[in-house]
Amino acid sequence: MSQAPDDGGRRKPGRPRSEEAREKILAAAHAILIGEGLGRLTVEAVAARAHVGKPTIYRYWANAQELALAAFLSRPPQVREIAPSRSAKDDLADHLAGVIAAFASARGRQIALTMASVDGVSELSKAFRNQVILKSREAGRAILARARESGEIGAATAVETALDMIYGPIFYRLLAGHQPLSAAFAAELVETVFAGIGRKEG
Amino acid sequence: MSQAPDDGGRRKPGRPRSEEAREKILAAAHAILIGEGLGRLTVEAVAARAHVGKPTIYRYWANAQELALAAFLSRPPQVREIAPSRSAKDDLADHLAGVIAAFASARGRQIALTMASVDGVSELSKAFRNQVILKSREAGRAILARARESGEIGAATAVETALDMIYGPIFYRLLAGHQPLSAAFAAELVETVFAGIGRKEG
Amino acid sequence: MSQAPDDGGRRKPGRPRSEEAREKILAAAHAILIGEGLGRLTVEAVAARAHVGKPTIYRYWANAQELALAAFLSRPPQVREIAPSRSAKDDLADHLAGVIAAFASARGRQIALTMASVDGVSELSKAFRNQVILKSREAGRAILARARESGEIGAATAVETALDMIYGPIFYRLLAGHQPLSAAFAAELVETVFAGIGRKEG
Amino acid sequence: MSQAPDDGGRRKPGRPRSEEAREKILAAAHAILIGEGLGRLTVEAVAARAHVGKPTIYRYWANAQELALAAFLSRPPQVREIAPSRSAKDDLADHLAGVIAAFASARGRQIALTMASVDGVSELSKAFRNQVILKSREAGRAILARARESGEIGAATAVETALDMIYGPIFYRLLAGHQPLSAAFAAELVETVFAGIGRKEG
DNA sequence: TGATAAACGAGACGGTACGTCCAGTCTTTCC
DNA sequence: GGAAAGACTGGACGTACCGTCTCGTTTATCA
């Protein structure tokens, strides 16, 4: 963190923490999360896999839960960028297809499970939420903002609610599993969100 | 279960299972789930709290996970009934306010967490999903069906997607916690779902 | 202990403790004590060697120290019996040669070390002292008693002090190591104890 | 050690070792030994208490065991000097009372325990034995030598065995704890050692 | 008077063992 | 003869120290 002694900054005494060890730990934790799931992410297993002592792990994180957050945080899901083009509706559909591709996987389920089991008060859990869960939501917000400027969506639209209507269903399907989470769902969702379900008066 | 051997059926030999023990176990499990969370629901703790041996628990459920499902299943969240009246939009808003009231609590978070951590293949997990998670979704489906009949919503509406747009945001907010899950959200959500966010052409 | 339900005694419910496990643990502990020493007697190592869970060990003994006591207690050093004959002096010399043979070994040193590190207040440590360390002292006391009856030693002799003068030097040499602890020492010691070092008048 | 480079000897370059640090370490180690016992003498604890880095300790001693030896060696038990007078028997009794006073304490027990746990091959452990354990033995040897000259003890007396008979019982009682280690024991012991226990022929 | 070299404090490192909690299984007695 | 109770093996927990290492700092000498 404060590794750079920028000028007047006083370095702490003692041997500095090994960035290499930290990275090995996160890599091992991530590999276990993907390969075996959150339930198998034990500090012991990570220590063995990373060739690191257990106290080194506890020096950074208080328990396996925090380590999971940090592991996902260090390797956030990569939602592919979209080229802003044509209409906001198309852009949003493209974007959501990317989100679904990123989350509809073993890793996605583990992330969702981790999200659910987090209490949400610590700094780390807030960072996890903002960087891992809600990152794409901000991308969606940008698209909506552009759409409002171009007049594609109504000026009075409740943006927060709209965003929940867009991203909520994806996690809902991911977790409840009552319906498949396919790429086609992205287009269908965007369509319905834009059109609404109420009868239009002519 | 097969406790009543009325119809000429031969009673099984040996000591019959104690229904009282089963109920004590579920009560203890539920109390722990509400009071301490899914993470603290250990078979050991339940056995101690219910004054029951561990094997008695394992006789009914294979692990703590299943026990959690059963505990919630035995005490499903009570979403208050609504009196069908006025418009489908109002009915839906009323209903969603009830759903939010039922889930926006420690118990609701535990249920959501349980949902996330369930794999979804066993009978019990399916029952949990259908009875605990998706029960209210069916109520919503009924309201939408009535609305379609009355012409309140378009005939071409994709109902499944619409339902996801209605219930998804609730769980999304519950788990991600980026926005409060208040009663007001119910009305706002219904409004936006019905209206859509796209600009209406005059 | 109260394993035998002698008639009206009510046995405790549940699975009784396994005497086999207890014996395996003691055997493993003893083997480690002899082979590697008190310092290597870790609960972990014993559990692994005995194919027993750590909690099973802790159910019987509070720590490795107690386990060491119990291990030695279960296999007390075998001082060879002597055939009471000829004179008390010869009997005592024979007996001491046996004591030296039993203690002048890796095992003897471990016992002495264990004796030193014991605090001496617990029941177990008292039993260890009485059964392992002071057992042979009682044999010596019997020999002296016979000698007094036969008139071989003075009636006014302070027996406790005499016993300390007989056994003390053995442990002294064993621990301090300033002089070898050979069989010859037994005879020499007895001789000097009987004769005393003061100039005889008359 | 080789701090004084008088005779043309070339001083080593670099910062010389701090005698103050060495002393702080020994003081801290000794305090822990007396206050908490050998088992709590960890390098970590000593470093913390002495406000010294762990490597500074390891620069002088290889492990906590050696440090314990050095700590006792630097503060050897003070057996009070006796004024040679009257008879050797009285002198010896006086001397032994001093030995008992010095060893019958928490510190004495820790020294005895340390003696027992030492293997006895290293230079340091030999020094410990000679300076801490056997120092008083030499005082006893001097008294016996004087007694032999004055004719107070027999010329044929086996001095080594006699010394073991004198000091052995003290450590024996200290470690085994079967009898109190009081000042009175000194006189009784000397009396019996001189007189012997065998019946004197008239 | 600097440069150089070793010892200093601090503390992180890879490890081992601790003593505890809990998972599931097994073995006994009770109903 | 199955239910109930509790001991069983085993694995992970989070902590205390081990003995080693790498820092930045201090203190001496040698050039």
Interval C153-164: pLDDT, tens: 988 889 999 999
Q: 């030695």: which residue's tokens?
A: C72
Residue B194: in which H helix or E strand, if any?
helix B183-195
Residue C171 with chain D: CB contacts under 8 Å: 168, 171-172, 175-176
Task: Indicate yes or no: strand F within 7 A of the C-beta of D193.
Answer: no
Strand ranges inside B142-195, DSSP E: none
> pLDDT at position A54, please?
95
Q: 């535990």: which residue's tokens?
A: B110
Residue A197, min C-alpha distance to chain B (Å): 5
Do the chains contact at A169 and B173, CB–CB below 8 Å? no
> pLDDT at position A14, please?
78
Joined tokens for residue B56? 């008695």
Residue C175 with chain D: CB contacts under 8 Å: 112, 115-116, 171, 175
Residue D89 with chain C: CB contacts under 8 Å: 198
Rounded mean pLDDT, C142-159: 91
> pLDDT at position C122, please?
87
Task: Indicate yes or no: strand E within 7 A of the C-beta of C63.
Answer: yes
| Identity of the residue in C120, C167, C196 whose CB atom sits nearest the CB atom of D172 | C167
Paired strand residues for D153: C198
Residue D31, min C-alpha distance to chain C (Å): 19
> pLDDT at position C99, please?
96
For chain A, how big is the Rg over CA atoms in Å? 21
Q: Which bases of strand F sit closer than 7 A to a protein CB? A: 1-30
- Report the phi/psi class of residue C13: left, alpha or beta, with left for phi > 0 and alpha for psi in -120 to 50: beta
Rounded to an integer, what distance in angstroms lies between the CA atom of residue D113 and that of residue C114? Answer: 9
Q: Which residues of chain A (13-52) touch nucleic strand E at CB < 7 A?
A: 13-18, 21-22, 24, 51-52
D and B touch per CB criterion (3+ pairs under 8 A): no
Q: At what angle do helices C159-176 and D106-117 cross, to 10 degrees?
A: 50
The count of other CB atoms within 10 Å of the CB of residue A119 is 11
Residue D95, min C-alpha distance to chain C (Å): 17
pTM: 0.86
Rounded mean pLDDT, D123-148: 94
Joined tokens for residue C67? 């386990």
Q: At what angle do helices B64-74 and B106-117 cross, to 10 degrees?
A: 130
Q: Closest residue by Cα to the C1' atom of nucleotide F22?
A: A15
Residue B47, min C-alpha distance to chain A (Å): 22
DSSP-based three-state secondary structure for B153: strand
Joined tokens for residue D167? 């000091």
Paired strand residues for C198: D153
Contact D169, C110 (CB under 8 A): no
Q: For residue B180, give every residue at least 6 positions away whose Cβ sits within 8 Å of its Cβ, in sequence order, or none.
A: B173
DSSP-based three-state secondary structure for B18: coil
Do the chains contact at C199 and D151, CB–CB below 8 Å? yes
Is the pLDDT at C201 greater than 70? The verdict is: no
Rounded to an integer, what distance in angstroms lies between the CA atom of residue D165 and that of residue D163? Answer: 5
For chain D, the average pLDDT equals 89
- Mutation site for B-interface testing, chosen from A181, A197, A200 by largest number of B Cβ within 10 Å: A197
Q: Which bases of strand E sit closer than 7 A to a protein CB? A: 4-31
Rounded to an integer, what distance in angstroms lies between the CA atom of residue B113 and that of residue A38? Answer: 13
Q: For residue A8, give every residue at least 6 positions away whose Cβ sits within 8 Å of its Cβ, in sequence order, or none.
A: none
Nearest alpha carbon to residue A145 among A135, A133, A157: A157
Residue A168 with chain B: CB contacts under 8 Å: 164-165, 168-173
Do the chains contact at A165 and B167, CB–CB below 8 Å? no
Joined tokens for residue C136? 């042979």
Q: 């004495």: which residue's tokens?
A: D108
Rounded to an integer, what distance in angstroms lies between the CA atom of residue B126 and that of residue B165? Answer: 22
Is the pLDDT at D5 greater than 80? The verdict is: no
Phi first, then psi, for residue A119 (nearest 5°) are -80, -35
Q: Cα separations (Å) of A97 from A132, A139, A166, A175, B135? A: 17, 13, 12, 17, 28
Which spans in chain A are helix H?
Answer: 19-36, 43-50, 54-60, 64-74, 88-103, 106-117, 123-128, 135-149, 159-176, 183-195
Rounded to an integer, what distance in angstroms lies between the CA atom of residue A42 and that of residue A57? Answer: 11
Task: Indicate yes or no: strand F within 7 A of the C-beta of C3.
Answer: no
Do the chains contact at C164 and D169, CB–CB below 8 Å? yes
> pLDDT at position B18, please?
65
For chain C, the average pLDDT equals 88
Contact B111, B72 (CB under 8 A): yes
What angle (nearest 5°) sits at the alpha carbon of residue A19, between those of residues A15 and A21? 95
> pLDDT at position B155, please?
82
Residue of B nearest to A157 (CA): B197
DSSP string across D156-180: T--HHHHHHHHHHHHHHHHHH-SS-
Phi first, then psi, for residue B198 (nearest 5°) are -75, 150
| Identity of the residue in C161, C169, C178 whose CB atom sits nearest the CB atom of D189 | C161
DSSP H helix total and E strand total for chain C: 10, 0
Q: Which residues of chain B (52-81) touch nucleic strand F at CB < 7 A?
A: 52-56, 59
Residue D7, min C-alpha distance to chain C (Å): 38
Cα dihedral D4→D7→D8→D9 (10° resolution): -50
Do the chains contact at B115 and A170, CB–CB below 8 Å? no
What angle (nearest 5°) sits at the alpha carbon of residue C163, between those of residues C158 and C166? 125
Residue A145 with chain B: CB contacts under 8 Å: none
Residue of C nearest to D195 (CA): C196
Is the pLDDT at C68 greater than 80? The verdict is: yes
Residue D87 with chain C: CB contacts under 8 Å: none
DSSP-based three-state secondary structure for D71: helix
Which nucleotide's C1' sits nearest to the alpha carbon of D63?
F19
What amino acid is encoded at B116 in this protein? A
Note the CA–C1' distance, A53 to F15, in angstroms: 13
Task: Indicate yes or no: strand F within 7 A of the C-beta of D21.
Answer: no
Q: 């036969």: which residue's tokens?
A: C150
DSSP-based three-state secondary structure for C63: coil
pLDDT in tens, C14-44: 777 788 889 999 999 999 999 999 989 999 9
Task: Indicate yes or no: strand E within 7 A of the C-beta of A151.
Answer: no
| Identity of the residue in B113, B151, B171 whose CB atom sits nearest the CB atom of A172 | B171
Quick one: CA dihedral D166, D172, D175, D176, positive or negative? negative
pLDDT in tens, C91-135: 999 999 999 999 988 888 899 889 988 877 888 999 999 999 999
Spell out the per-residue pLDDT of chain A, length 202, in tens: 333 333 334 567 778 889 999 999 999 999 999 999 998 999 999 999 999 999 999 999 999 999 999 999 999 999 988 888 778 999 999 999 999 999 988 888 899 889 888 877 888 999 999 999 999 999 999 999 999 999 999 888 899 999 999 999 999 999 998 999 999 999 999 999 999 998 875 4
pLDDT in tens, A121-140: 888 999 999 999 999 999 99
> pLDDT at position B1, please?
35
Residue B167, min C-alpha distance to chain A (Å): 7
Residue C200 with chain D: CB contacts under 8 Å: 154, 200
Spell out the per-residue pLDDT of chain B, length 202, in tens: 333 333 333 445 555 566 778 899 999 999 999 998 898 999 999 999 999 989 999 999 999 999 999 999 999 998 888 877 778 999 999 999 999 999 988 888 899 889 888 877 788 999 999 999 999 999 999 999 999 999 999 888 899 999 999 999 999 999 998 999 999 999 999 999 999 998 875 4
Rounded to an integer, what distance in angstroms lies between the CA atom of residue D83 and that of residue D79? Answer: 13
Note the CA–C1' distance, D50 to F31, in angstroms: 37
Note the CA–C1' distance, A15 to F22, in angstroms: 5
Burial of C74 (0-12, 13-18, 19+ CB in 10 A): middle
- Mutation site for B-interface testing, chosen from A38, A164, A200 by largest number of B Cβ within 10 Å: A164
> pLDDT at position A201, please?
59
The count of other CB atoms within 10 Å of the CB of residue A137 is 19
